[in-house]
Amino acid sequence: MSEYILEMNHIAKIYGNGVVANSDVSFNLKKGEIHALVGENGAGKSTLMKILFGMEQPSRGEIFLRGEKTVFSGSKEAIAKGIGMVHQHFMLVESFTVAQNIVLGMEPKKGLFIDQKEAVRFTRELGERFNLPVDPEETTKNLPVGLKQKVEILKALARGAEILILDEPTAVLTPQEIDQLFEELRQLKAQGHTIVFISHKIPEIKQICDRITVMRSGRTIETYQCEAVTEQQISNAIMGCELNTAIERGNKKYGEANIQVRDLSYTDKSGVQALKGISFDIREGMVFGIAGVQGNGQVELVDILTRRKAVQSGEARFYGQDISAADQKSIRELSFGYVPEDRLEQGVAASVPISENMISNDLENNDFQKHGMLDFQKIDAFVKENIESYEIRCAGGSQPVGMLSGGNMQKVVVARECGHNPGILIAEQPTRGVDVGAAHIIHKKIVQLCRDGASVLLVSADLAEILKLSDVLAVMYEGEIVAFFESTEGLNEEKLGLFMLGIERHGPEQIRKAVNGHE
Amino acid sequence: MNREKTFNILCTAVAMLAAILVAFLIIILVSDKPVESILIFLMQPFSSGRYVGNIVETAIPLIFSGLSMAILFQAGLFNLGGEGVFFMAGIVGSIAAIWLKLPIFIFPLVCLAVGAGTGILVMLVPGALRAKFNANEMVTSLMMNNICYGVGCYILNNMMRDTAVSSLVSYKYRSAALLPTIVSGTRVHVGILIALLCAAMVYVFLYKTKWGLQVRATGANAKFAKYSGMNVMKVILLVHVIAGAVAGCGGIVECLGLHKRFEWTALPGYGFDGAMIAMLANNNPLGVIGAAAFVAYLRVGADLVSRFADVPTEMVSILQTLIILLISAEKFLHKYKQRWMEKDIQIKEVQHEGLH
C-alpha cells in the first residue's frame, strides 16, 4: 500500500463542447493532510474535483483510492466511498431545519414516517463528536453564512466522509469566521480526515495547508511542501510568470458628487428593516468602498440604486437627478454601468455569443447601427478590441459566452459595463471567484475609470480588494453605516472585521463625513 | 463551421433517419408487400412534377407556422396559438375575399393584410396577458385556440355559409382575390414566394437588427435583458405581433392559394406542426424552410403509400410524433458527441506534438 490515500494519475477531461478542462493532471493526497489546490479560473480545479466527487467521468487517466483502482459512476458512489464535498454555493434546503438538512436522503424512519426526534438527536451527537456544535432545530435560512458552512461540513461527515473537498470555503466569511473555520479544520485533521482546500487566497493557504498543488491551463504544475515556498513563488507558479498586482492610483482630486444618497431606508416584504437611513456621497474620481458581512443591507442598497427595488423613503440622486421614478431601462441612459454580483443570473445570457453580450446595454448607440440594422463590422471591431485589451481567452466573438470560464465571463461583463466610460459605476463583488490575473485586469479598469472622473461604488466581501481599490471606505452592519474611513491608510482586515461584526462602531460625527466626502 | 454546430445538424439528420426507419418498420408490420410500399413511400414523391408540386404546396403553410413558432421560441415563449390564428385569419381573410371588390393585384394583398391583422389581434391576447400579468402564454394560447374555433365556426355557419352546397363551406371567393398558380401542371401558388420572403425577413429581423438581438437575449435570459436596459414587456408584445402576423398570413395564404371557398371545419393543425418544425430547425428561420420541406415530403410519401399500397395515413402522425420525440430527446446522441469531440482534440494534440 502506498503512502497516499488517493492518487489521480494523468487525468484528462474533455467536455462535450470541445473544451479541454484537464489535459494531464496528477494529484495525490496523504491521509490526514490539508492539501491546497490553487490555480487561475479555468485552470481545471473544479473539473478535477468534480471528477474526484464522481460528478464527471475522466476521459483518460486512473484514480486509486486507498490503493485500489476506482471508477466513480456518480457522486452517490463517491460519497459511499468516503468522499465529501462542500460546494462554494451551499446545497442546503433553506426552509428545512439543520437536522432535516443533515439527514436529507438518509432519514431515520419510524414506520412509514421520518423520525424527527432521532434526526435531532443524531445531529446533536454528530456536532458533539466532531466538535462542531449546531442547533439542530434552527431553520437553516436563519443561520449566518459561517454556520451554514458548518452544516455543510457536518452533512458530509454524517455520510462518512474521510476526504473532504472544500471549494473556496473562505470566500464568504469574515476574518473572524475564517479563524474559526481553520480551527475546525485542524481538529478534523487531527481526527484523521483528509482535506482538499481550494482557494485563491495564498496567505490563507500558507496558514493552514500542509502541501499545495498548483494547476495551470489544465495541467498540474508542481506540488510543494507549504512551508518550503513563499507566497510570491506560489503566485508565480499560478500565473506562469511574475505578475505585479500593485495598482497605481495616482493623486486624488474629487469633483462633483455624481451619486448622492440621503436617509435611504428600506423594509422588505417580511417586515425586516434592511436599510436604516443610509447617507453618503460619491464624488467624481472617487472609489467608495462598502465592506460588510453579506446580508447587512448591501444587496438592498445596490438593488435600489440599480432600480430593482423601490425607493421607499429617503432619496437617491445620480448627477443631481432624483432616480426614484427611473427604471432599469431609463437609468441606462444616464451614463451608468453596473457589474452585478451574479454574472450568470443577470450579467450574461449564456447561450448568446460574446459579441452580443458585449453590446447588449448599448443597442441604442447609433455607432452600431446602419440603415436600421446592426452594423456588424463596427460591432466586431469593438468586440475584438475588448477581447484583446481584457485578454479574454476565447475562440472568438461568436463563441457563446457560457463556454468561457468564470473569470473570462466576468471580463466580458466588465468590458461591457465600462465600454462607454460611464460616469457612474456600481461594482458588486466584481472579482468574486475570479483568478488573480483576471482580477488584476478588472481592478486596473476600475481605477482607470475613476481616474477619468467616474464615481465608483464598490461593494465587496473581499476585504483585500476593498482595501486596495477604495479611496474612502464605509462599513455596513445591520442596515446602517457603522464606520467611515476617509482613507484606507493604516487599515487592515482585522480592524475592519471588528466593525463588520458590530463589535465596534464610529460615532455619528465621523459617519456624517460620508456625506460630501472630504477635501 | 465548428464541430458543435456540425454535430447539431448531424443530430437532426439522425433523428430524421430514425423516423424514416421507424416508418419502414410500421410499413413492414402492416403491409403485405413491404418492399414495394417502402419504395413508394421514399421514391414516389419525386417521381413526377405533380408530386413534387404536392410537396411544395404542403410545405407552404408549414413554413408560415414554423416561422411563427421559431420567433416565439427564440424569445423563450411557449405559445401554441398558431392553431387558432390560422383558423381565425382564414375566416376573416375569407370575408374580405368574398365581399370586397378590388382590382386584381391589390385584392390578394389586402386579404393578406386582413389575415395578418387578425393574426396580430388574436396573438396579442396571450401576449398582453403575459407581458402585463405574467400569465402563462401556453395556457392562454391554448384557450384562445378554442375561442377562435368557436367564434370562427359561428361566423361560418351564420354569415358565410353557402346554402347552395350541402357541405359546410363558405361562399366562393372572388376570383381576383385568389393567389395565382405559378407552376403549370401543379397547384404550387404564389404563396411559396411569400413564404420564402417571410423566412428571409424573419431571419434578418432576428439576427441583423437590434430588436432581434433583444428578442434572443430575452429568450436566453430575461433578467439579463432587463438588466441591460431592454424593455422586456415591449419585446414580448413585439414577438407576439410578428408571430401573429406571420401565422395569420399563413392562414389566409393557404385558403386563397389552394381553395375556392373557406373549407376548414376543424382546426387545421398547423399550429402544432409549427412547433415541431421550429424544433427541427433549431428555431432558425432559414432552417424552417428545410424542415417544412422534409415534413411535407413525409406527408406526401405517406399519402401516396396509402393511395397506392395498403398502408393507412395514420402512420404519418405516428411518424411525426416520433420526430418530435427524437429531436427533443436531443441528449440521445450525447455519449457519441463526447467521444467525437475528444477524438478531434486528440488528433489536434497529436498534430501539435508532432510539430515539436
Q: Give CA–CA dist B39/B88, Å, rounded.
A: 39
The per-residue pLDDT for A241 is 63
Closest A-chain CA to B231 = A329
Look up the ipTM and state it.
Answer: 0.80
Domain B61-310 has CATH 1.10.3470: yes
Which three-class secondary structure state does DSSP give residue A83?
Answer: strand
| Alpha-carbon gap, residue B64 to A16, rounded angstroms | 34
Please state, as a whole number, how many other Cβ atoms lie within 10 Å of the Cβ of residue B230.
Answer: 25
Testing the interface with A: which of B7, B213, B348 to mutate, by most A Cβ within 10 A?
A: B213
pLDDT attached to residue A411:
92
Calculate the average pLDDT of chain A.
86
Task: Note the pLDDT of residue B237.
Answer: 96
SS3 B329: coil
| B229–A361 CB contact, under 8 Å | yes
Spell out the per-residue pLDDT of chain B, length 356, in tens.
466 677 777 777 887 788 778 778 878 888 888 888 888 888 889 998 899 999 999 999 999 999 999 999 999 999 999 999 999 999 999 999 999 988 888 999 999 999 999 999 999 999 999 999 989 999 999 999 999 999 999 999 998 898 888 888 999 999 888 999 998 888 999 999 999 999 999 999 999 999 999 999 999 999 999 999 999 999 999 999 999 999 999 999 999 999 989 999 888 888 888 988 998 888 999 999 999 998 898 888 888 888 888 777 777 677 667 766 776 665 556 666 666 656 655 555 555 544 44
pLDDT class of A111 with cuts at 50, 70, 90: confident
Cβ atoms of A13 and A47 within 8 Å: the answer is yes
Residue A112 has pLDDT above 50, yes or no: yes
Bridge-partner residues for A60, per DSSP?
A12
The verdict on A338 touching B (C-beta cutoff 8 Å) is: yes
Q: Domain extents for chain B?
A: 61-310
Q: What is the pLDDT of residue A250?
A: 62
Q: What are phi and psi of A53, to 5 degrees?
A: -90, 5
Which residues from chain A sit within 8 angstroms of residue B208, using beta carbons? 373-374, 376
d(CA B204, CA B67): 13
Cβ contact A506:A495 at 8 Å: no
Question: Across the interface, do B225 and A360 touch by the CB < 8 Å criterion?
Answer: yes
The pLDDT value recorded for residue A242 is 58
- What integer pLDDT is reported at residue B356 of this predicted model? 44
A interface mutation test: which of B73, B210, B353 has the most A CBs within 10 A? B210
Residues whose CB is less than 8 angstroms from the CB of residue B337 and which lie 6 or more positions away in sequence, other chains included: A16, B7, B11
Across chain B, which distance is largest between two alpha carbons, in Å?
87
CB A315 within 8 A of CB A261: yes
Confidence at residue A439, expressed as pLDDT on a 0 to 100 scale? 86
CA distance A110 to chain B (A): 40
Higher pLDDT pick, A405 / A452: A452
Nearest to B231 among A329, A338, A349 (CB): A329
Q: Is the predicted pLDDT of residue A384 greater than 60, yes or no?
A: yes
Query: What is the rounded (10 degree) CA torsion for B109, B110, B111, B114?
Result: 120
Instruction: Assess whether pLDDT exceeds 60 at residue A362.
Output: yes
Of A292, A224, A275, A285, nearest in space to A453 by CA? A285
Predicted model pTM: 0.77
Which three three-digit cell numbers place residue A427? 461594482
Per-residue pLDDT, B141: 93
pLDDT of A305 above 80: yes
Predicted confidence at residue B221, as pLDDT, reads 92
Least confident of A52-66, A87-101, B274-288, B298-312: B298-312
Residue of B nearest to A350 (CA): B220
Task: Determine, for residues B210 and A356 on separate chains, whether the beta-carbon distance falls below 8 Å.
Answer: no
Residue B131, min C-alpha distance to chain A (Å): 16
The rounded distance, in Å, linking the Cα atoms of A154 and A146 is 13
Cβ–Cβ contact B5 with A under 8 A: no
Q: Which residues of B touch A15 (CB under 8 A)?
A: 338, 341
Q: Establish if B214 touches chain A: CB-CB under 8 angstroms.
A: yes
- What confidence tens digit (pLDDT) does each residue in A403-412 have? 787 788 899 9
